[in-house]
Structure 1
Amino acid sequence: MLRRNFPDSALDRPQETLIRNLKAHSRLPHEDVAEIGKFSITTRDLRPDEDFIRQGDHPEMAVLVVSGMVARYHLLQDGRRQYLSFHMSGDLPDAQGLFIERMDHALCAIGHATVAFIPHRQILRAFQRRPSLGIAIWRETLLDAAIFREAITNNSARPMQARMAHLFCELFYRARVSRLNEANRCSIPLTLVQLAETLAMAIATVNRTLQQLRASGTMDFRDGELVILKWRELQELADFNPDYLHMKKQSSSI
């Protein structure tokens, strides 16, 4: 359901959300902030699991996550999904769509979410006027690539317990940098099936691995809420080093 347009002259919440996210990894001069404020943005509320970009689409707008969480995934011929990455408030999950003709993946909501659409033509014009803004958004796509590389290593090289712990560490760390968590907890509205399709595990393995992580006393995950009990110990268990996220604000403790 489309909700509203934001006028070019107003620096409203979606623009502020984008600015906050870009500032986590890039320097944004005042002129770049003002350029973002000129974007005409339409928002849309999404139901859990609702697709808003499908494989094969010809993109004309970039997507900004305003609230909630969305996922990028590949749809397999048998109907199963392989989740590739997760995106939170402020992320631009399909910025590479600016430069490709057809989408080779799909995007869906994880839980309830709100996304904003920014016309490609406006972003490309902004790149011409403010090349430094173009570099910041380009860096956003490079961070996506770094997350992809880490996911490949995670799913192919780490044992099951470390694999799941690493995913939780990454999502919690990103939520903390973006100030989306509350103390030692954050919302991660993933089902057990979605965890299985992310981590290349069977459902039975997901249940067993979650029980092992709970027994370790480092974290708990129930009903879509992640609680961190011993952050440093969880990092060690997961072999998690946040350097690949290239965030300006880093912390090893809670």
Structure 2
Amino acid sequence: MEADKIVVNKLKEHSRLSGDDIAEIRTFSFAPRELADHEDLIRQGDEPDRTVVVLSGWVARYHLLSGGGRQYLSFHMAGDWPDAQALFLERMDHAVCALGPVLVAGIAHKELTRAISRRPSLGFAIWRETLIDAAMFREAITNNSARTKPARMAHLFCELFYRARALGHVRGDQLQLPLSLIQLGEALGMAIATVNRTLVELRASRVVDFRSGTLTVHNWPRMCAIGDFDPGYLHLKPPR
């Protein structure tokens, strides 16, 4: 899908766009860039002059810790706009890296700010995109600090599956999710042994399974119940 269509579809998931807003997006000059597995798109401390949309593959936001470890903050798939907030920040307080081969398209900040001045309603849609990011971060804090380990993992699976379904990436009951168990643990604050034990517990419930980069949901309502998942914080149109 072309980059302008991806941006339009993404923003229309939560905001109304007029014909003039869509026409403005179609004037953007998108610069493609390929990323290798684990390559950083943005580094912590960078002062970016452009923002990107994901055309194919997955990327992750993370904090780089002083000891070299990582705390993964969120995961983003084709169709997502993972660093729209960079438009409003001078210096990045986190990094974004590729999870496998990735293709992104960059939009210069100068071009975006000019578009926003011409179309304030488009600016509100972009701002709303950043507010939904903030809502996801708040939910992640609650998830990692207040839920049991099975609920914590089930909630993350629910969120990714729900978002992927809205963007058309789910096939039947499966989602291709290129996360290692180490990365899953770094997102959920679990040691690798705990990740394995928690996966065994979820598999035993016959609700969900995650093996070799494939997430399979056998019972969506039950998984939502285990994960205490309410998609309201994502502010998306309910997927079919």
Q: TM-score range by the shorter chain?
A: over 0.9
What is residue 44 of structure 2 aligned with on the other side?
Answer: 55
Within the alignment, does 1:42 sit opposite 2:31 as a pair?
yes
Aligned position for 1:25: 14
Q: Distance in 2 between matches of 1:240 and 1:187?
A: 20
Alpha-carbon distance between aligned partners in 2 of 1:89 and 1:234, rounded to the nearest angstrom: 24
Q: Is the 8 A contact 1:24 1:178 kept in 2?
A: no
- Structure 1 distance, partners of 2:164, 2:239, is 12
Q: Distance in 1 between matches of 2:218 and 2:206?
A: 7
Aligned length: 240
Aligned amino acid, residue 87 of structure 2: L
The question of whether the paired residues in 1 share the 8 Å contact of 2:55 and 2:104 is answered with yes
**Alpha-carbon separation, structure 2, partners of 1:47 and 1:90:** 18
Partner Cα separation in structure 2 for residue 111 and residue 240 of structure 1:
28
Aligned equivalent of 1:217, options 203, 206, 211: 206
Match of 1:6 in 2: none
Question: 1: CA distance between counterparts of 2:62 and 2:88?
Answer: 19
Q: Give per-residue Cα distances to partners, 1:218-239, cap 9 Å, x unaligned.
A: 1111111111100001000110
CA distance in 1 between counterparts of 2:79 and 2:17 reads: 15
* Offset of residue 13 of structure 1: 0.4
Matched position secondary structure for 1:16? helix
Amino acid at match of 1:109: A
Equivalent residue for 1:238, pick from 218, 222, 227: 227
The sequence identity of aligned pairs, in percent, is 59
Q: 1:185, 1:227 within 8 Å by CA — same for their partners in 2? A: yes
Cross-structure match for 2:146: 157
Q: CA RMSD in A?
A: 1.0
- TM-score, normalising length: structure 1: 0.92
Correspondent of 1:121 among 100, 110, 115: 110
**Structure 1 residue 115: Cα displacement:** 1.0
After TM superposition, give the deviation of residue 249 of structure 1 in Å: 2.3
CA contact (8 A) 1:59 1:101 kept: yes
2:84–2:130 contact (8 Å) kept in structure 1: yes
Look up the equivalent residue of 2:137 and give its one-letter code: F
The secondary structure found in structure 2 opposite 1:115 is strand
SS in 1 for 2:67: coil
From 77, 86, 100, give the equivalent of 2:66.
Answer: 77
Greater alpha carbon shift after TM alignment, 94-103 vs 126-135: 94-103
SS of residue in 2 equivalent to 1:44: strand
What secondary structure sits across from 1:179 in the alignment?
coil
Which amino acid is 1:35 matched to? E
Q: Distance in 2 between matches of 1:193 and 1:79?
A: 14
- Render the CA deviation track for 1:77-105: whole Å, top value 9, x for unaligned: 11100001111222221112112211111
Mapped partners of 1:211, 1:92: distance in 2: 33
Aligned counterpart in structure 2 of residue 180 of structure 1, from 154, 159, 169 = 169
Give the secondary-structure state (helix, strand or coil) at the position aligned to 1:126: helix
Match of 1:95 among 77, 84, 95: 84
More off after superposition, 83-92 vs 32-41:
83-92
Given candidates 116, 134, 156, the residue that maps to 1:145 is: 134
- Alpha carbons 2:165, 2:239 under 8 Å: kept: no
From 43, 55, 63, the counterpart of 1:66: 55
CA distance in 1 between counterparts of 2:238 and 2:195 reads 31
**TM-score with structure 2 setting the length:** 0.97
Instruction: Find out whether 1:196 has 2:174 as its counterpart.
Output: no
CA–CA separation in structure 2 for the residues paired with 1:34 and 1:165: 40
CA distance in 2, matches of 1:21, 1:154: 25
